[in-house]
Amino acid sequence: MKIAVVGPGAMGYLIAALLKTKAKEDVWLVDKRAERAKKLNDRGIFVEGSSGEFTAKVNVVSEAKEAGVCDLAVICVKSYSTEDACKDIKEMVGPKTSVLTLQNGVGNIQILNDHFGQERLIAGVTNHGATFLGVGRVRHAGKGDTVIGNADGKVLGMIRDVANILTKAGLETKISKDIQSVIWSKLVINVGINALTAVMRLHNGKLIEYPGTRELLRGAVHEAVKVTKRKRIRLNYDDPVQKVESVCKATAGNISSMLQDVLARKRTEIDFINGAIVRQGKALGIPTPVNEALTNLVKTIESSYEEAVKLPC
């Protein structure tokens, strides 16, 4: 299968490398920066961690027309770049191309649906951890389930093919008939962890070791659960707070994607995670003070990278 992976970040690197090395597929990575794309073509993608240590040589292009129409496009860009990515890859998407999103947060499905139509869209989440180590270098920080599904709940041939290929690549994949529940279940976990790690500069596991961060984690999760209940979305676990805290323990040494962004002084996905809970809460008349505070703090950090106080040497 000819597969385009859109987004040269940690998860994009990992998925492209695994699809090429483990599943032996025809993989094309899209990197809008031509100079970096050339380096990736020359060097390949180096992977270390849970999948072992290896280098994968994939086709890297800066423009979609260089690759042509693909059978599958896997969207791995940050959520705030989804709209631009849709425009950038139009020449890769033909009448029979499927588009798979494995992004964080909520809102991506609607954007992709608007551009490509529900009939070709596959939504999903992955619980694999990936840490960006530099251009062409990624650490597979931890394994987990990947779940995909069609928005209408139908299980058609292409989605089975995609699940089989991802599983062959080492990303064990299940198919869900209620993918919205899966996406929101992951969102609630991210709401409790990502922003707090970014503000406090802590590994996931440390959040539950301090009374202050543990209390904020629980507050953010409780607010998110109120929103999901009002929206009549079923979560995939009975006790959301216990679930988030167990994820903190299981991924204790992980550096969350949002903390990685802050440490690299990059824009974060806060608007699509805690910010999404704030927007939904306002629309539904549900107060979300903890999520609003976390959103404002992360956005302030983003805006003040150059002004952060540094001690004199």
More confident residue, 107 or 151: 107
Q: Which domain holds residue 98?
A: 2-176
126, 154, 176 - which closes a domain:
176
pLDDT band at 110 (very low <50, low <70, confident <90, very high): very high
What's the chain's average pLDDT?
94
Is 254 a member of any domain? yes
Residues linked to residue 72 through DSSP beta bridges, in sequence order: 3, 98
- Does one domain contain both 149 and 197? no
Q: Average pLDDT of 240-269?
A: 95
Counting every residue, how long is the chain? Answer: 313
Please tell me the predicted confidence (pLDDT) of residue 144: 87
Measured CA to CA, the distance from residue 134 to residue 116 in angstroms comes to 32
176, 208, 238 - which closes a domain:
176
176, 201, 234 - which closes a domain:
176
Measured CA to CA, the distance from residue 259 to residue 203 in angstroms comes to 9
pLDDT band at 307 (very low <50, low <70, confident <90, very high): confident
Is 13 a member of any domain? yes
Q: Average pLDDT of 95-104?
A: 94
- Does one domain contain both 11 and 153? yes
Q: Is 186 a catalytic residue?
A: yes
Please tell me the predicted confidence (pLDDT) of residue 23: 96
Is a pLDDT exceeding 70 seen at residue 96? Answer: yes
Is 117 a member of any domain? yes
pLDDT in tens, 2-31: 999 999 999 999 999 999 999 999 999 999
> Are residues 225 and 185 in contact, defined by beta-carbon separation less than 8 angstroms?
no
- Does one domain contain both 64 and 91? yes
Is a pLDDT exceeding 80 seen at residue 152? Answer: no
pLDDT band at 95 (very low <50, low <70, confident <90, very high): very high
Q: Average pLDDT of 252-262?
A: 93
Is 194 a member of any domain? yes
Structure tokens, 224: 């998110």
- Does one domain contain both 229 and 121? no
> Are residues 76 and 112 in contact, defined by beta-carbon separation less than 8 angstroms?
no
- Does one domain contain both 81 and 130? yes
Is a pLDDT exceeding 70 seen at residue 313? Answer: no
Q: Average pLDDT of 110-116?
A: 94
- Does one domain contain both 170 and 258? no
Contacts of 186 (CB under 8 A, 6+ apart): 104, 125, 127
Q: Average pLDDT of 203-217?
A: 98
- Does one domain contain both 152 and 278? no
- Does one domain contain both 225 and 105? no
Q: How many domains does the chain have?
A: 2
Lowest mean pLDDT among 27-31, 106-110, 198-202: 106-110
Of the residues 20, 32, 186, 243, only one is catalytic, namely 186
Q: Average pLDDT of 166-172?
A: 96
- Does one domain contain both 46 and 170? yes
Task: Quote the pTM value.
Answer: 0.90
